[in-house]
Amino acid sequence: MSLLVVGTMAFDAIETPFGKTDKIIGGSATYVAYAASNFVQPVQQVSIVGYDFPQEEMESLQSRGVNLEGVEIVPDKKSFFWSGKYHMDMNSRDTLVTDLNVLADFNPILPDSFKDAEFVMLGNLMPSLQKRVIEQLSGQQKLIVADTMNFWMDIALEDLKEVLTMVDVLLVNDSEARQLTGEFSIVKAANKILTMGPKYLIVKKGEHGALLFHGKQVFFAPALPLEDVFDPTGAGDTFAGGFIGHLARTKDISFENMKTAIIVGSAMASFCVEKFGPDRLREITKADIDTRLSEFVQLVNFDINLV
Amino acid sequence: MSLLVVGTMAFDAIETPFGKTDKIIGGSATYVAYAASNFVQPVQQVSIVGYDFPQEEMESLQSRGVNLEGVEIVPDKKSFFWSGKYHMDMNSRDTLVTDLNVLADFNPILPDSFKDAEFVMLGNLMPSLQKRVIEQLSGQQKLIVADTMNFWMDIALEDLKEVLTMVDVLLVNDSEARQLTGEFSIVKAANKILTMGPKYLIVKKGEHGALLFHGKQVFFAPALPLEDVFDPTGAGDTFAGGFIGHLARTKDISFENMKTAIIVGSAMASFCVEKFGPDRLREITKADIDTRLSEFVQLVNFDINLV
């Protein structure tokens, strides 16, 4: 079962109430690949990096079954760099630096062997690039999932709306769902987004969990209550990686299985936030993931005897 | 199975983004009684009202099995009155008016027949009054649950801490849990509160659901995603009423059954917010409650096949 992942591979410098990093590995596609490769291999990665992206990181990803054939290396430019500072509640952050570097020239070209990937994860990218990726696909995909962000709603709304008509699942956070629709109620916003193209909508609420909408159906997955959220960077991408990784592994895109996939995504995200960058994702084993999934079962499982 | 409820019966005037009311029925004990009486009767009510509290409201409660023997009627004073205005997110509100009226003289006296109630719900009240109620009890109670609020942490913290050593379950919201402990992390705050007396802690997060902590165990119940939250007034008290009502009905205070009780509380709260004041709680039937509980099962139920 093949999974295509398109997004950034980059450097981040992060400041949280718990500490501060120099340049560390980041990027949406990096987090998706680390999460998804626990469930499905190969992960067919499409991205762009500069001369400064570490060879060891490439090898670390390859050792997890990430096929880097679609990652362009630009020899005379630097990798995309983002720097941000989180506030105490970890739900809000200030961007300190955005150096596009190689990302300014990104024109994703899919290797021929990637074009019939059955599952596609379009990480947060300029909507016109997401569209260009979709147009290169064979059209035989089982599921296309797209992430996006408020920034594209501000500057590329029409492109984004076109992308929405081309994907099966959209991932946004609660404020983005509101911005995209002008509806304050998340339920009303979701119903509106489901008329814009996607058949499934996932609304991420950070520490407050995530909602899956499909037609009139709705499913809720909590975030695991943690003593400390050390660094939320990449948690949304890690969630996406766990979600699509589970679907690609099971080859089942029913609503029931998507519920499980959301729990898997939440479990992966709960690891991500425990350390800076993707450090925790590099450490965890299948046994760790199983244990964490059991914790989610305990967290939400209840018996009801109707009164 | 007997349930004792102590709290306010009052008038509220409420403004939300969806509308505005004149004086309508409110009060913590009112909401608790409306919710709990769906599950257990009689509800032994202890409160205080003025000459202006409507006889029809008393009769409406009595017709649901609420025993008003412990409700003092002060002939020459008005009932407690609160007026507030909610902001768009419904999680924050401004208090416009607080007229204590009869509440300034409240000295709850338990009728003898109430003193061996097996389940006790202490609604949000001055901690010294909650303590006075506990001291009148026979000491044979199965479970004592107490609600409180930030106001008492500001002006009566020592009394509140004493109450905490006398109760089994504490109900607070997330910001109150933080204020009570000085811990920003809800998990850390919960662990600290569990050393202060209560064996169980429920942290209410409004539209983001509720968490139940007990020792190292944790359970999460979502709020039902609603198109509109019309008026959140009384939702926390209604939640408490559903919670303790289910426990009193089943006479089972195991952690497993408390999980179910939290879902019942969440279901009752989801009705409360659909109309102003307790209006919706007066309408619903057991069939409505069963349907809503089924929606909660759908909302959080998932299959996991560990990878």
Count CA atoms within 13 Å of residue A43 on its CB side. 33
In a domain, A51, yes or no: yes
Q: Which residues of B185-207 are buried (b: 16+ CB within 10 A; e: fewer)?
A: bbbbbbbbbbeebbebbbbbbbb
B184–A303 C-beta distance less than 8 A: no
pLDDT of residue A90: 77
CB A6 within 8 A of CB A121: yes
- A13 touches B at CB < 8 Å: no
Q: What is the mean pLDDT of residues B163-174?
A: 97
Chain A CA closest to residue B203: A225
Token pair for residue A303?
Answer: 């018996």
In a domain, B306, yes or no: no
B293–A225 C-beta distance less than 8 A: no
pLDDT of residue A1: 63
Print the domain residue range for B67: 3-300
B218–A299 C-beta distance less than 8 A: yes
In a domain, A277, yes or no: yes
Render B61-124 in DSSP notation, one character per residue. Answer: HHTTTEEEEEEEEETTSPPPEEEEEE-TTSS-EEEEEEE-GGGGG------GGGTT-SEEEE-S
What ipTM did this prediction achieve?
0.91
pLDDT greater than 90 at residue A142: yes
Q: What is the mean pLDDT of residues B138-149?
A: 97
pLDDT greater than 90 at residue A260: yes
How close B211 gets to chain A, by Cα (Å)?
Answer: 9
Distance CA B50, CA A6 (A): 67
Measured between beta carbons, the chain A residues lying within 8 angstroms of B220 are 222, 225, 299-300
Distance CA B234, CA B232 (A): 6
Q: What is the mean pLDDT of residues A141-168?
A: 97
- B298 touches A at CB < 8 Å: yes
Using CB atoms, pick whichever of A205, A220, A226 lies closest to residue B299: A220
Q: What is the mean pLDDT of residues A84-101?
A: 88
pLDDT of residue A307: 44
Provide the residue count of chain A. Answer: 307
CATH number for A231: 3.40.1190.20
Give the range among B86-100, B123-137, B183-197 with minimum mean pLDDT. Answer: B86-100
Q: Which of residues 22-61 of B touch A (CB under 8 A)?
A: 38-39
In a domain, B283, yes or no: yes
Q: How confident is the model at residue B305 (pLDDT cuts 50, 70, 90)?
A: low
Q: At what angle do helices A174-181 and A186-193 cross, to 10 degrees?
A: 60
pLDDT greater than 70 at residue B1: no
A185–B88 C-beta distance less than 8 A: no
- A214 touches B at CB < 8 Å: no
Distance CA B102, CA A167 (A): 61
Q: What is the mean pLDDT of residues A22-49?
A: 97
- B192 touches A at CB < 8 Å: no
Number of domains, chain B = 1
pLDDT of residue A229: 87
Chain A CA closest to residue B229: A185
Residues above pLDDT 70, as percent of chain B: 99
Q: What is the mean pLDDT of residues B19-25?
A: 93
pLDDT greater than 70 at residue A305: no
pLDDT greater than 80 at residue B52: yes
Give the range among B14-23, B132-141, B167-176 with minimum mean pLDDT. Answer: B14-23
Count CA atoms within 13 Å of residue A306 on its CB side. 13
In a domain, A280, yes or no: yes
pLDDT greater than 80 at residue A306: no
Q: Which residues pair with A3 in a beta bridge?
A: A43, A119
pLDDT of residue B307: 44
A226–B185 C-beta distance less than 8 A: yes
Measured between beta carbons, the chain B residues lying within 8 angstroms of A302 are 219, 221, 256, 259-260, 262-263, 300
CA-based radius of gyration for chain A: 18
User: In the 8-state DSSP scheme, what is residue B252?
Assistant: -
In a domain, A295, yes or no: yes
Closest residue by Cα to residue B163 from B196, B200, B201: B196
